[in-house]
Amino acid sequence: MDRKKAIALSFSVPVAWGFSYPLMKIGMDSMNATSIVALRCIIAFVACLLLFHKRAFRINRDLMVRAAIIGAIMATELTCMCLGSSLTSASTAGFLQSLTVVIVPFANAALLRRAPERKVLVGTAIVT
């Protein structure tokens, strides 16, 4: 993958997440949280398959186990996020979910037992 494609993909993530909160709020009027999560995961799977089709079938058992664990965690998180946004405003839910930008570097530092790099601290301070 070249740098421009990586930057474009990196930019598309917050745009997609930003749009997802109000869309989830609308979707919760006619679907339950697990249906919304299933739909989002199917759309993401198809998008990834289209983007990374050359690598899509290079999988082994270890990768499948790790993917299943991460997928279960992500599905749980998304379901909780859907339920949370149904009970509060989309902007509040988006703000709370966006706190991961601040929490993840410090959780990573605690798990790896080393301080975050200076650029990570500067980025976190800017975001905060």
Task: For the chain, 128 residues long, give each residue's pLDDT as a single digit of tens.
Answer: 788 888 888 888 888 877 877 887 788 888 888 888 888 889 888 988 898 887 777 778 898 899 899 999 988 988 888 888 788 887 787 788 778 888 888 899 999 999 988 998 898 888 77
Q: Whose CA is closest to 33, among 90, 75, 61? A: 75
Strands (E) in the chain, as ranges, are none
Q: What is the rounded distance in angstroms from the CA atom of residue 27 to the CA atom of residue 93? A: 15
| Rg (the chain; Cα; Å) | 17
**Entry pTM:** 0.63
Give the residue carrying structure tokens 């058992």: 61
